[in-house]
Amino acid sequence: MKFRNFKMVDYVVYGRGSFNQLDEILQPQRNNDAPIVFLVDHYFQGKDLVNRVPVRGNDKIIFADVTYEPKTTYVDSIADQLKDEFGMVSGIVGIGGGSTMDLAKAVSLMMNNPGSSADYQGWDLVKHPGIYKAGIPTLSGTGAEVSRTTVLTGPTRKLGMNSDFTPFNQIVLDPELTRNAPVNQRFYTGMDCYIHCIESLTGTYLNEFSKAYGEKALELCRKVFLEKESWDDECDDMLMMASYAGGMSIAYSQVGVAHAVSYGLSYLLGTKHGIGNCIVMNHIEEYYPEGVAEFKRMVEKNGIDIPQGICKGLSEEQFDTMINVALGMKPLWENALGQDWEKIMTREKLRELYGKL
Ligand code: NAD
Ligand code: ZN
């Protein structure tokens, strides 16, 4: 198909306190005795939010360990555990940052598809719809709430399960849930959104659909990270919508240099997505001169530390591994640099860039 036929989230609810409506939203999804499983970011263990989760009957709360970004083995183990315990469940609700939302999407798919989630890393490999799934972000920025992918680290690669079955059936956007996020984490995840905008808006894949969302998301990021005197509720409101719009923008275009290079860091060193993107963004003014200058102003205004020297002491073999991972992300480079990207982004150039990080 020449034009992408973009599968979107089925239902969206937005607003402060909308989390309280979850019980009502889930009610029609309950099939007889099959429970709803709430996958909750382990940060909330022992916190008030857990008491507000609308647990009924034999529903179950599982705390998602997101110390590391989601792995295919973790997805498989949760899905197997649920199949053993319940046979079938009515739905999965992911409550947390991008990692927890991605886990919920992947577990939903693996409840109905045979084998391992690693078999489905790639594009349009998922054969059957998953079970009902809802996503509720507690951090804003990744756009995972709207995307058609769930990024997983498998035995051989870090790659999403990209498919029309991947988007959530329901998302609940309640900015109140992001209120207590630590300043650094909030910034790193927020910058994921800012970087999505810069990469989308300067990319060769840009079109009016992506631009409409990207420009709005960028405007909101600027308000939140540059114009506001200090953080308040309105910032949480705006950043949640920025994340949504930024996700919609890249859904119909692509990301670029920061993401491609950051994937290499993540694969070799386990660097997390948000902070990894920031580490790279700090050094790529050659590709995004205005975006990087503005990013640096945001870092300074918000008093954030961006780690330096994380590639110090790595062997040439390790640099090669990162370069291979980064160069494997062909659509990202083509979006960023055009069809002749291979002439521009050589192994030597990438080696030099990784050496600076
Ligand atoms: P995260 O989900 O990895 O969470 C980061 C940390 O913040 C964790 O320690 C978590 O426990 C904690 N946390 C979450 N909510 C909190 C809150 N309200 N208060 C305090 N702490 C909180 O971070 P993220 O940046 O949201 O997500 C990154 C992940 O998203 C990566 O795994 C990345 O691959 C994925 N991602 C997916 C997509 C997609 O389209 N599917 C897009 C971008 C990124
Ligand atoms: Zn991203």
Ligand 2 ion: residues within 5 Å (CB): 192
Domain termination site, one of 178, 210, 232: 178
How many angstroms separate the CA atoms of 147 and 160, rounded? Answer: 11
pLDDT of residue 92: 98
How many angstroms separate the CA atoms of 78 and 83, rounded? Answer: 9
CA 333 to chain centroid, in Å, comes to 19
172 and 187: one domain?
Answer: no
Could you give the number of structural domains in the chain? 2
Which numbered atom of ligand 1 lies nearest the CA of 158? Answer: 34
Nearest residue (CA) to ligand 1, atom 27: 98
Dist. CA 337 → ligand 2 center (Å): 18
Domain termination site, one of 148, 178, 208: 178
**CB-CB neighbours of 124 under 10 Å:** 13
Domain termination site, one of 146, 178, 210: 178
Dist. CA 353 → ligand 1 center (Å): 26
How many angstroms separate the CA atoms of 112 and 78, rounded? Answer: 13
Nearest residue (CA) to ligand 1, atom 40: 144
- Which residue of 7, 42, 43 sits with most ligand 1 atoms within 8 Å of its CB, as the best mutation to test the pocket? 43
Residue 124's SS3 state is: coil
Which numbered atom of ligand 1 lies nearest the CA of 272? Answer: 31
252 and 164: one domain?
Answer: no
163 and 197: one domain?
Answer: no
CA 138 to chain centroid, in Å, comes to 12
Rg (C-alpha) for the chain, rounded Å, is: 20
53 and 161: one domain?
Answer: yes
Distances (CA, A) of 192 to 34, 35, 69, 246, 323: 37, 34, 15, 9, 21
Q: Which residues of the chain have pLDDT under 70?
A: none
pLDDT of residue 155: 87
Q: Which residue has the tokens 């960028």?
A: 218
Residue 146 included in any domain? yes
292 and 161: one domain?
Answer: no
Residue 222 included in any domain? yes
Residue 33 included in any domain? yes
Nearest residue (CA) to ligand 1, atom 10: 43
Dist. CA 240 → ligand 2 center (Å): 15
Cβ atoms 107, 72 nearer than 8 A: no
Tokens (6 digits) for 170:
């329901």
203 and 275: one domain?
Answer: yes
Residue 238 included in any domain? yes
Cβ atoms 246, 196 nearer than 8 A: yes
Domain that holds residue 86: 11-178
Q: Phi/psi of residue 137, each to 5°?
A: -70, 140
Segment (H or E) for 40: strand 36-41
Residue 142 CB less than 6 A away from ligand 1? yes
Cβ atoms 185, 26 nearer than 8 A: no
